[in-house]
Amino acid sequence: MSEIASSLIVDFGATAPETTHSKPPADRLLDGSPEQVARNYFSDSTGRFFAGVWESTPGKWRVRYSENEFCYITRGRVRIEHESGRGWTFSAGASFVIPAGFNGIWEVLEPTAKLYVIYEPA
């Protein structure tokens, strides 16, 4: 990528994203059969900063975050529970940050989409 191309605005509406389809690993799955699609629109040259759109069908799975993630829910509803038992429910329009080191449970209560911005510390 040229220096000019790497310094241009990334317009999610005009950029062809890198798309991946996945499911939570079987050893982390707690309920359902969620199917996920991630459309990564941006990765920086260090491979530690990412931004895109994530979607999932309902289900529940364990998570362990090594990254910091900003989320903005654009559609649907999720419940996130910390390993201590404290939980949060977020619906369309909600934004939040999950810090590196968070361990708990993600539960997609209804088909959900979110914008994400991820930073993976060194």
Q: pLDDT digit string (tens) for 68-104?
A: 999 999 999 999 999 999 999 999 999 999 999 999 9
**Within a domain: residue 7?**
no
**Within a domain: residue 2?**
no
Q: pLDDT digit string (tens) for 6-24?
A: 678 999 999 889 899 999 9
**Within a domain: residue 13?**
no
- How many domains in the chain? 1
Angle CA(59)–CA(64)–CA(66) in degrees, nearest 5? 135
* 48 Cβ neighbours under 8 A, 6+ residues apart: 119, 120, 121, 122
The DSSP output letter for 113 is E
Q: Using a cut of 0.75, tell me whether the model's pTM lies above it.
A: yes
CA–CA gap between residue 114 and residue 92 (Å, rounded) = 8
**Within a domain: residue 11?**
no
CA–CA gap between residue 13 and residue 1 (Å, rounded) = 20
Chain center to CA of 77 = 14
pLDDT at position 4 is 58
Mean confidence (pLDDT) of the chain:
95
Q: What is the CATH number of the domain that holds 35?
A: 2.60.120.10
> Among 5-14, 30-39, 103-112, where is mean pLDDT lowest?
5-14
